[in-house]
Amino acid sequence: MKIRIGSRKSKLAMWQTYYVQDKLTKAGVDTEIITMETKGDKILDTSIAKIGSKGVFTEELEEQLANGDIDIAVHSAKDMPSVLPEEFELIAFTDREESNDVLVSHNPELSLENQTKKIVIGTSSVRRRALLKLYYPHVETVDIRGNLQTRIKKMQDGLCDGILLAYAGVHRMNLESMIVRHFPVDKFVPPVGQGCVAIEAAGTLPIEKKEMIRSCINNPDSETCLLAERAFLRCLEGGCSIPAFALATLDGNTLSLSGGLVSLDGTKNITSTRIGSRAEAQSIGKELGTFILGSGGKELLADIRSLQD
């Protein structure tokens, strides 16, 4: 049996792909990696929100899945739209890395608490920009796109003083020495899926391949948490163009899901937590999403989308 693995070409995407390939190889599975560029990789002068939240990093890989040119596609789970086209599914989730955000800088003395000087932070995330406005309104932001190495070079060339990033990517690229601040997940709640790698397949993938891939790669705890988080985001009909966030954790069979929505200017922040059994993961996500929408989130989303049009 041979598994053809589709991936984006960036160093971080390839790290994730080699990680998946290694798990399959150790199980005696023959593999082949096929790389490609996605819309999100090619368009670097426009924010993700302006490009559109659906399929920015997945559309080209899904075309290859549909054509049968690849068996699976490897994604950062946080890049996945809340609703996939009906002919595709997420069949596995890897072990999850720490999910928090970090501040990276070439200046080890950089502090967001310092209000005596101008501080410019680079980020392409509407969530991170909104949370900065909420907690650090004196900090300026600038949009920064490209792979991790490209963004760091832009920072070093003077575009900004620091960059807000996911710890997982920084860690996987061995750039932890540049971290000057770890943000707690109860303050800077991460986006849905951050720190986890998702495996996508077409519904036509033979069942024996699907089951074999799941047995090699899927982490049941990661899957449970991601099902809850993605159900929350699906309720908000959201993707990476809205400042929504959610993080699920497990304690035995008890699942806790915290999440919410913040306005683009940081002046409104709607959050809540739901707790239940792991077997109710998707119901918990839907319940939290419904609460956020009914607590002003529906109107807030309308305002956000009108400002982005």
Which residues are marked as active site?
79
Distance CA 265, CA 62 (A): 34
Give the closest residue to 64 by CA, choosing from 215, 205, 240: 205
Decide: 42 and 163 in contact? Cβ < 8 Å: no
End-to-end CA gap in the chain: 47
3-state secondary structure of 73: strand
Q: For the chain, how many residues are written?
A: 309
Ordered strands of the 244-251 beta sheet: 244-251, 254-262, 269-277
Over its C-alpha atoms, the chain yields an Rg (Å, rounded) of 19
Q: At what angle do helices 220-235 and 281-292 cross, to 10 degrees?
A: 30
